[in-house]
Amino acid sequence: MLELARLNTGLDEPALHHLQRLVATWQVLADLAFSDLLMLAPVDGTSGRRFLLLAHVRPTTGQTLYPTDLVGRVVEESERPLVARAWHLGEIAAGVAPVMGSAERARLQCIPIRQDGRVIGVLSLESGTTSTRRPGELERHYLATFERLARMVGEGSFPFTRGAVELEEAPRVGDGVIVLDEERRVRFASPNAVSALHRMGIHAYPTGLRLSEVGVDPAPVDAMYRDPAPVMLELQRGDSSVVVHALPLLAATDVVGAIVLMRDVTDLRHRDRMLVTKDATIREIHHRVKNNLQTIAALLRLQARRLQSDEARAALEESERRIRAIAVVHETLSRDASDVVPFDEIVRPLARLVEEASGGPDFPIRIEVEGQVGDLPGDLATPLAVVLNELVQNAVDHAFPPGRNAAGAGRVRVTLAREGDDAVVVVADDGVGLPPGFTLDAPSGLGLSIVHTLVTTEMGGSLELVDDRGARAVVRVPVGGPDDG
């Protein structure tokens, strides 16, 4: 809307911000009037002979006249003379005109939108003319409340420049409405509002009573009467929760009443509590899995110390290291209930596990990590962590054989990247490189066999091992788009 207005109208920024605030809060107007609302502003340089349709809202309480989008349409003065009249005279104009794009007739009420004493646009209320049914009590109160808000739009006091911020679960007219008079007494309560009160254990008939007499805390509404500004809060009573959005009704600067929208969110809050409990349970499960894996790793370490065979001891130590790599993933998942792992956060702990167990004072091994791969699904992060652990350990074990003539420390670099729909992990060392005749089709060690199987079979990716002033392993696995998480 703002872009349309900036390109095609002469409205300044304060006027545009006023229109934006109106669009953010005008659903209540459409619902109270059971009508479509169209926002129009004159096209720049046309002196109010042509109008651009900037925004459109449909009622949730009635049928729309315009199922198709009208935003961006230019309306001639001859097509909507009532709009031009409201613009030029700065007063509400009512009448009948054709529905845009149809031979059907519509009732129009065109309201000037005033900001800081000047007219900056027109709000056109449009509804059908076919109904001959006499409006009931609910409709009469809704329409009367709309008329008061329409006058506030014309006076420039609606929308409010301060007050409540719209929440995702903010109530709408259909959720329940209470209309208060100047004495803060209930003039009308819709059936849904009465039902919301009943859910809170309030069974008094509200009409004619103050909110305090009904059993509702009156403090927020009393504050709204003293200092006119919208109020939004959540009332809790027992197990019931009701979101309340109160709007003052003004005549000039005096509060002459209020409209209180109510929405029963008891079921939503119950669901939220269940989700919190479920999240805590999931985190606890991952925490216990991590603890169990660490216990298994400790048992393997104890068992390895009691073995006399160097080959058996090495096999148990490798198994312990693989289990600890999986435990790191579950430790990360235990901090967040979602099944998404910030993989970058677990790479450095994995590197430290290998670094601490490798090298020595005569020839230390330095493992560097750079780049980012982002969030990965948990079912992908676990095998990829094992693969990364194996590749780093393999580089440490084979790139720097004893007696290698080298200055300083051996270096292993882990590079992470996201390329399109793929996560790319590169493990490169500055060691002796691959042995002569090496081929991935017949890997010599269990570690590379595990890596090859996990990458190509479980993760559906590819593995490449090449000589590049040392050995370089490139793992590429599909994970979806960069923001899939």
Residue 397: which pLDDT band, with cuts at 50, 70 and 90? confident
CATH number of the domain at 360-485, out of 3.30.930.10, 3.20.19.10, 3.30.565.10, 3.90.1150.10? 3.30.565.10
Among residues 137, 166, 240, which one has the least CA distance to residue 196?
Answer: 240
What's phi and psi for 189, nearest 5 deg?
A: -135, 125
Per-residue model confidence (pLDDT) at position 357: 67
Query: What per-residue confidence (pLDDT) applies to 400?
Result: 79
pLDDT beyond 70 at 100: yes
Does 166 score more than 60 pLDDT? no
| Contacts of residue 291, Cβ cutoff 8 Å, sequence gap at least 6 | none
Give the pLDDT mean for 171-191.
92
Q: In the prediction, which pLDDT does 437 show?
A: 72
Query: Tokens 């809050």 map to which residue?
Result: 269
Q: Percent helix, strand and coil across the chain, each rounded to 5?
A: 40, 25, 35
Q: pLDDT, tens digit, for every residue of 106-138?
A: 999 999 999 999 999 999 999 988 665 677 889
C-alpha–C-alpha distance, residues 213 and 215, integer Å: 5
Distances (CA, A) of 305 to 166, 308, 359: 64, 8, 20
Residues facing 264 on adjacent strands: 242
- At 167 the pLDDT is 56
pLDDT of residue 144: 93
CATH superfamily, domain 2-155, is GAF domain (3.30.450.280)
Percent pLDDT > 90 in the chain is: 38
How many beta carbons lie within 10 A of that of residue 41, not counting itself? Answer: 27
To the question of domain 173-264 being in CATH 3.30.450.20, the answer is yes
Please state, in angstroms and rounded to a whole number, the distance separating the CA atoms of residues 153 and 158. Answer: 5
**Is pLDDT larger for residue 458 or for residue 119?**
119
Q: Is residue 352 pLDDT above 70, yes or no?
A: yes
Is the per-residue pLDDT at 476 higher than 80?
yes
The answer, yes or no, to whether residue 184 has pLDDT greater than 50, is yes
Percent of the chain with pLDDT over 70: 89
pLDDT at residue 484 tops 50 = no
Token pair 């403090």 is at which residue?
Answer: 219
Please give the span between the terminal C-alpha atoms of the chain, in angstroms, as a whole number.
31
Mean pLDDT of the chain: 85
Q: Is the pLDDT of residue 204 over 50?
A: yes
pTM exceeds 0.85, yes or no: no
Q: Is the pLDDT of residue 76 over 50?
A: yes
pLDDT in tens, 36-65: 999 999 999 998 899 999 999 999 998 999
Q: Which range (75-79, 190-194, 327-331, 362-366) has the least confidence?
A: 362-366
Domain boundaries, the chain: 2-155, 173-264, 272-338, 360-485
Separation CA 115–CA 127 (nearest Å): 26
The whole-number pLDDT of residue 152 equals 95
Strands (E) located in 166-303: 177-180, 186-189, 231-237, 240-251, 254-264
Residues 157, 111: contact at Cβ < 8 Å? no
Give me the pLDDT at residue 168, please.
59
Separation of alpha carbons 200 and 216, rounded Å: 9
Residue 403 has pLDDT above 70, yes or no: no
Same fold, 2-155 and 173-264: yes
Residue 444 banded pLDDT, cuts 50, 70, 90: low
The predicted pLDDT at position 318 comes to 76
485 pLDDT band (50/70/90 cuts)? Answer: very low
- Give residue-wise pLDDT tens across range 234-285: 888 777 888 888 899 998 888 999 999 988 887 777 777 777 766 777 677 7
Going from the C-alpha of 354 to that of each of 126, 325, 389, the distances in angstroms are: 71, 10, 8
- What pLDDT digit, counting tens, does each position of 371-396 carry? 998 888 878 888 888 888 888 888 88
* Predicted confidence band of residue 83 (pLDDT cuts 50, 70, 90): very high
C-alpha 188/C-alpha 178 separation (Å) is 6
Distance of CA 109 to the CA centre of its chain: 37
> pLDDT class for 163, splitting at 50, 70, 90?
low
